Amino acid sequence: MCQLLGMNCAAPTDVTFSFTGFAARGGVTDHHADGWGIAFFEDKACRLFIDHEASSRSPLAEMLKRYPIKSRNTIAHIRKATQGHILLENCHPFQRELWGRHWIFAHNGDLQDFNPVLSGVYQNVGNTDSELAFCLLLQGLRKAFPGAQPPLAELFDTLASLTREITQFGVFNFLMSNGQALFAHCSTHLYYLVRRWPFSTAHLVDADVSIDFAKYTTPEDRVAVIATQPLTDNEVWTRFAPGDLLMFQHGEVIAQASVPVPERVLEKLRDPSTDASASAVRPETAETARIEAEALDLEASDDRAAVQS
């Protein structure tokens, strides 16, 4: 199916380091070659880039590896199609408006016999189960809070209830953000880490690239990175438990809930051969997709208040 990448930060931060490894999974170190996308929040505004080409071959992805867009909330996605054709309108992340803010959503999974009734305010443009799920989530939030956005704690509780309804249809790993917080739900596979002072050196799994974060950070910086599979091989990643729904703000977890996962979904964890969302086996990933560190220009930023991550 797909892979997810999210980043939530205390200060605006660019994702070029993580995205370099992540993009390699779109056709080189893994088989997710049916399109990709990435969204960067900047206050209430959002920059969204999508492409139906494989991320490992996309000139747009190559440009973004070298363009340090700084954001407190970033969501990226690489696609292995299970529902919907390989078209631009089926590329994640998806974007909609609610309560005067952009909302961004990306999904890894497969929802079977999922045919929700949408009211008309939110309709799908493409033909994926993922976009339908996003529309249904926003429809539910709008119905629960018709006037204005509630406090984040209330929003989180309602999102947990809506997620519980959709999870019954299959694998529903997702990342979602309105630019104020980042929500992450795991049905099967999702990991996160929080980088904080004192920062150290990280090395990518999918490319022979390292970065010493201590050169770019201050004691006030804090960065949470969420991914379907760990992106680095020398840091400690925390695995989500099946059913975990986490809310990240300012680079740390501020709320957690557990959403029951159907037995047929848990079976995919016990037998990975039945899980289309699982990654392909990657032989000697760093050597297979060696990407030269000098191409990244990791020394480009003079802004010590914003860490590359």
Residues contacting residue 178 through CB under 8 Å, at least 6 positions apart: 98, 101, 102, 103, 104, 149
DSSP string, 77-133: EEE--SSS-SSGGGPSPEEEEETTEEEEEEEEEEETT------SSS--SS--HHHHH
Question: What is the helix (H) or strand (E) element at residue 72, kind and residue range?
Answer: strand 70-79
- 12/25 Cα distance (integer angstroms): 25
- In the sheet with 252-258, reading across from the earlier edge strand, the strands are 94-98, 101-111, 170-177, 182-185, 244-249, 252-258
Cα 255 to Cα 202: distance, rounded to the nearest angstrom: 27
Indicate if 186 belongs to the active site: no
Catalytic residue among 2, 9, 46, 186: 2
What would you measure as the largest C-alpha separation in the chain, in angstroms?
Answer: 54
Report the catalytic residues: 2
